[in-house]
Amino acid sequence: MKILIWADGGPRYASLLAARQLPPGAEVVTATTDDEALAHADTAEVLIGWGNARVGKLLPHAPHLRLIQAMGAGVEGMLANGAAESSVPLANAKGSNSEPIAEHVIGLVLAFARGLHIAVRNQAHHTWNSRAVRGVEIAGQTLGVLGLGSIGLETARRAKALGMRVVSLERPGRTRPPEVDRLVADKIALAAESDYLLVATPLTPETHQIIDEATLAAMKPSAYLINISRGQTVDEPALIRALQEGQIAGAGLDVTTVEPLPADSPLWDLPGVIITPHVAANSPRTMGRVMDLVAENLRRLAAGEPLLNLVDKQKGY
């Protein structure tokens, strides 16, 4: 089985994967450029890469490909670049980064609740202003979760442990998980009830700008939006207006519509905003969990067993 890792940093990922038990005869090769990937395409059986990999360039030249394995949860880039039309199964790595992202979300919630974002800005200007840093307790406050996948559930567990109330959306066939106190009918009701509204959905045509002007208008003036999904799930101009006009108190953004966030974006200077540069998943443990999942899927592929985390290409996740 020839396994092609097509990504910047490919040798590091190959080394991590080689430390796992792989199927007998497995050969791992790496590529960082299109030409290098194409050189291995005709014999590759597995393609491993990030969710934005340009798989469409490879697929016509890879007659033996049996699996496309993403190293992240989001695969909208792969789907838009050839994977959606291909008959080759696509799997993602959802669940591998849920714990650090959930901790990142709780960190943002606590920062806003205790006014740490204000204190850090004041510290940069050598300003001592105890009246500006007014903390509240998060126990008893409501976390609204838009997207009850592995990240949403991990965040809900941590929020419940801190005494928060967790609300999410009703879905056909969904039973309320124990991490959630209440399910509501639609996103407007969810927004209206939330003190912190978390966007944890995959990016699909249905979730593109799911946080729109109407959703922001339904939020409390004291509420915060937190987005660790994709920047395109939020109508960014509408968010900027809502922040500038005081419709909501602030936003914690690990993702933005354009990344890196342009230097002239108003988001940088809005006092109620915390921006982190798409690092919520970062942890020394994350890639180890990813490679454990990849190695298990390789074993299953070789044994003819059902694969983990297969993506429904119609749904986009």
pLDDT tens-digit map of 259-268: 999 999 999 9
Confidence band for 143, pLDDT divided at 50, 70 and 90: very high
Q: What torsion do the CA atoms of 145, 146, 150, 154 make, to the nearest 10 degrees? A: -10
Of the candidates 186, 129, 140, the residue with the CA atom closest to the CA atom of residue 166: 140
140 within 8 A of 164, measured Cβ to Cβ:
yes
How many Å apart are CA 229 and CA 199, to the nearest integer? 6
Contacts with 262 (C-beta within 8 Å, 6 or more apart), sequence order: none
The answer to whether position 189 is within a domain reads yes
Residue 117 annotated to the active site: no
User: Residue 43's pLDDT is what?
Assistant: 98
- Residue-wise pLDDT tens digits, 150-160: 999 999 999 99
The answer to whether position 199 is within a domain reads yes
Asked if residue 254 and residue 106 are part of one domain, the reply reads yes
Average pLDDT in the 110-138 region? Answer: 95
The answer to whether position 308 is within a domain reads no
User: Residue 174's pLDDT is what?
Assistant: 85
How much of the chain, in percent, has pLDDT values that exceed 70?
100
Domain count for the chain, please give it: 2
Classify 142 as helix, strand or coil.
strand
Asked if residue 219 and residue 153 are part of one domain, the reply reads yes
Asked if residue 298 and residue 229 are part of one domain, the reply reads no
The answer to whether position 126 is within a domain reads yes
The answer to whether position 309 is within a domain reads no
| Active-site hit among 40, 193, 230, 236 | 230
How many Å apart are CA 226 and CA 200, to the nearest integer? 9
Residue 230 annotated to the active site: yes
> Is pLDDT at 51 greater than 90 in this prediction?
no
Average pLDDT in the 77-91 region? Answer: 95
Average pLDDT in the 212-237 region? Answer: 98
| Active-site hit among 137, 206, 245, 259 | 259
Residue 259 annotated to the active site: yes
CA angle 33, 285, 162 (to 5 degrees): 130
Asked if residue 294 and residue 190 are part of one domain, the reply reads no
The answer to whether position 314 is within a domain reads no
| Active-site hit among 20, 61, 208, 278 | 278
Of the candidates 306, 311, 315, 316, the residue with the CA atom closest to the CA atom of residue 89: 311
Asked if residue 288 and residue 232 are part of one domain, the reply reads no
- Residue-wise pLDDT tens digits, 168-224: 999 888 899 999 999 999 999 999 999 999 999 999 999 999 999 999 999 999 999
How much of the chain, in percent, has pLDDT values that exceed 90?
96
Mean pLDDT of all residues in the chain?
Answer: 96
Q: Tokens 């988001």 appear where? A: 267
Residue numbers of the domain that contains 265: 98-275
Structure tokens at 248: 């909501």
Average pLDDT in the 31-50 region? Answer: 96
For residue 130, with 0-12 CB atoms within 10 Å meaning exposed, 13-18 middle and 19 or more buried, which class applies?
exposed
User: DSSP readout, 172-211?
Assistant: TTPPPPTT-SEEESSHHHHHHH-SEEEE-PPP-TTTTT-B
Asked if residue 224 and residue 137 are part of one domain, the reply reads yes
> Is pLDDT at 54 greater than 90 in this prediction?
no
Asked if residue 131 and residue 271 are part of one domain, the reply reads yes
Specify the pairing of strand 46-49 against strand 142-146. Answer: unpaired
Average pLDDT in the 7-27 region? Answer: 96
Asked if residue 114 and residue 86 are part of one domain, the reply reads no
Asked if residue 119 and residue 264 are part of one domain, the reply reads yes
The answer to whether position 78 is within a domain reads yes
Asked if residue 103 and residue 92 are part of one domain, the reply reads no
Asked if residue 125 and residue 28 are part of one domain, the reply reads no
243 within 8 A of 272, measured Cβ to Cβ:
yes
Asked if residue 144 and residue 103 are part of one domain, the reply reads yes
Q: Tell me, what CATH number does 191's domain have?
A: 3.40.50.720
Average pLDDT in the 287-314 region? Answer: 97
The answer to whether position 89 is within a domain reads yes
